[in-house]
Amino acid sequence: MKLPILSLLSIGLLFNSCAQTPQKKERKQEVVQIQTEFELQDFLKENKDLDAAVEKVFASLDDTAIVAQLIMPAVGRLGQEKATIDQHIKDRIIGGVLMLNGTKEGFTSWITDFEKQNATYGNLPFLYSADAEPSLVNRKIMGSTIVKKANELKSIEEVRTCAQTISKDLNDIGINYNFSPVVDMSPNATVGFRSFGAVPANIIPWSGAFIEETQAQGIVATAKHFPGHGLVSGDTHKALQVIDGELKEIQNYPPLIAQGVLSIMVAHIAVQNNSKYNTNGLPSTCSKAIVTDLLKTEMGYKGLIVTDAMNMGGVVAVPEAAYKAVAAGCDIVLMPVDAKKAHTELLAHYRKDAAFKAQVDAAAKKVIRMKIALGLLSAK
């Protein structure tokens, strides 16, 4: 039986096409489980076993998953719809989620579901964060235990009790990363009521107490907003703010770094008329002078460095802001306007720029180290 010439040609083209471009199967990675148990404060310590565990997990990841560790969108009333996060999980492009304005019950349910999906798609477990500051937690997480606002607390003992109360709620929900305390001074209206700065002498000891109690409960604490939001006049949610001259608030950070604060959040604040730390019109989040030269090198900070929300007015107009933030030295890009676009942007630079690839690899390893220290990859 003779086949028509067109059919033979079609078969040939089909065979040739299949030979040249084999179809890729969607990869489900096997999540490495860690047999050794670590404690949260091991993150900052010299620990060869933890180093080896990080390398083992990192080696199991492909490029997509490595870059994903740096991206943390938000879900909730002021974040994305849950369905959007579900799709990001399926696409394997995120490494954590900010729980932003919702209910205690709802967030608990969502986290349980997200982790079921992560297991299905072979993703590493997530870092789950919240703006659980004393002044915001009851608004951000409805149904959480009522606490006094930061500027209403009267003693360091009240601060400790407040941190314990908040941390218990976060543990009940499954949130392991708190973007608190605010260590800014109080004159700025946006952050003043959220900090312990009504009495400037209280900022360091009270922030230190909050950090100590939070991390004792197995939750990452975050000092913010580096290099200081308390003495600028405006609101970085609305527009880029500027520190003109001396960085007067950075004095609050060395004692907290020495104490072992595990995370620091960088603000969308430019610095001008400062010969050493001028950001050249960029927000600090996108400035190597601030993130790498000052925070990492001069202050010796080795914890996780997270951007403030990347959909805020102070940064949203910066082209390739996610790339610039990571290149500046940030480890986590928080709330990018479009998480998929941010992942695509970072991945493209990752695959063509060896220096940037090294920067991303180092950041991803820090995120993995934190996940291991939190026990998220424990075999038990």
Active site residues: 308
For strand 220-226 and strand 263-266, is the pairing parallel, antiparallel, or unpaired?
parallel
Amino acid letter, 78: L
Q: d(Cα 289, Cα 74) in Å, to the nearest integer?
A: 28
Q: How many CB atoms lie within 10 A of CB 21?
A: 8
| Residue 356: C-alpha distances to residues 59, 197, 252, 363, 367 (Å) | 18, 38, 30, 11, 17
- Is the bond preceding 225 in cis, omega lying within 30 degrees of 0? yes
Q: Structure tokens of 309?
A: 């929300």
Catalogue the long-range contacts made by 156-165 (C-beta closer than 8 Å, 24 or more residues apart).
156/202, 156/205, 156/206, 156/209, 159/196, 159/206, 159/209, 159/210, 159/213, 160/209, 160/210, 160/212, 160/213, 162/134, 162/210, 163/209, 163/210, 163/212, 163/213, 163/214, 163/217, 164/213, 164/217
Q: Structure tokens of 6?
A: 């067109």
Q: Structure tokens of 112?
A: 């349980």
Helix 321-328 × helix 339-352 angle, to 10°: 50
Q: d(Cα 348, Cα 326) in Å, to the nearest integer?
A: 13
Q: d(Cα 57, Cα 35) in Å, to the nearest integer?
A: 12
Residues 227, 270: contact at Cβ < 8 Å?
no
